[in-house]
Chain A
Amino acid sequence: GQNIDQPTEMTATEGAIVQINCTYQTSGFNGLFWYQQHAGEAPTFLSYNVLDGLEEKGRFSSFLSRSKGYSYLLLKELQMKDSASYLCAAMDSNYQLIWGAGTKLIIKP
C-alpha cells in the first residue's frame, strides 16, 4: 500500500534549527512536496523535490533521497510564526498526492 510517515509533533526553540523527517512508500514516484498549514487555514506550498539532494529556499531547505524513500524539511532561524503543521506529500505514478498526517511544530521562546 501507499504510506507516508512523519512525526506527529515536534517542539523547538525560537532561533534554533529543526528537521522534520518524512518517509514514503508509493506506487511510482513523481516528486515530494512540503506544505505549511496554520490552524484553520489551507496548506501553502513550501517545496518540491523530484531529484536527490538538497534544495535551499531562504530559511527553509528540503532534502530528498529516492533510494531511501526519505525526505526532510529543515527550518533555520526559527520564528514564532513558524508554529504550524508541516505536511509531507508524495506524488505517485498516477500523479496523485499521497498525504502524510502532518507534523505539528511548536516553537517556544
Chain B
Amino acid sequence: GAVVSQHPSRVICKSGTSVKIECRSLDFQATTMFWYRQFPKKSLMLMATSNEGSKATYEQGVEKDKFLINHASLTLSTLTVTSAHPEDSSFYICSARMAGRDTEAFFGQGTRLTVV
C-alpha cells in the first residue's frame, strides 16, 4: 500500500516550452502533497506544499508563476514548469501524506527534467 506514482520519469524539453509533471497517490487519499527539487549531491529542497482544493504554499525564493502547482483532487497534484530554461534542469520529486500530520510522506519515483 501507500504507492505514489510520478510521471514522467524523464523528460527533455526545449527552452521556452512548458512541462507538466503528475503525482498520483494510487491507493490512499493524499490530503497534502509536497514538491521537491534536488540538485546533484545536494539535499531535497522543498518548493511548495499543496493541500487539496486550495492554493499551494510556496517556499521563499520559489517563483509561483514559474512553477505552477495544482492539487485538484485527493489523489492528484501536478507541477508545471512554465517557460523552462536550462537552469530549471533538475530532479523533481513529489511526496504525498495521508491524513494525520505525523505520518511519513511517501515519495514518487522522481522526474529528471533536462531543458535544452
Which residue numbers of A lie inside 8 Å of B, CB to CB?
Answer: 30-31, 33, 35, 40-45, 48, 50, 87, 91, 95-97, 99-102, 104
Contact = CB atoms under 8 A, between A and B. Distances in A.
Interface residues of B, number: 19
24 contacts: A30-B101, A30-B102, A31-B102, A33-B104, A35-B107, A40-B91, A40-B110, A40-B112, A41-B109, A42-B110, A45-B104, A45-B106, A45-B107, A50-B102, A91-B102, A95-B101, A96-B46, A97-B46, A99-B43, A99-B44, A99-B46, A101-B42, A101-B43, A104-B41
Interface string B37-72: 000011110100100000000000000000000000
B102 A42 contact: no
Given A42-B6, A42-B93, A87-B44, A97 B105 contact: yes
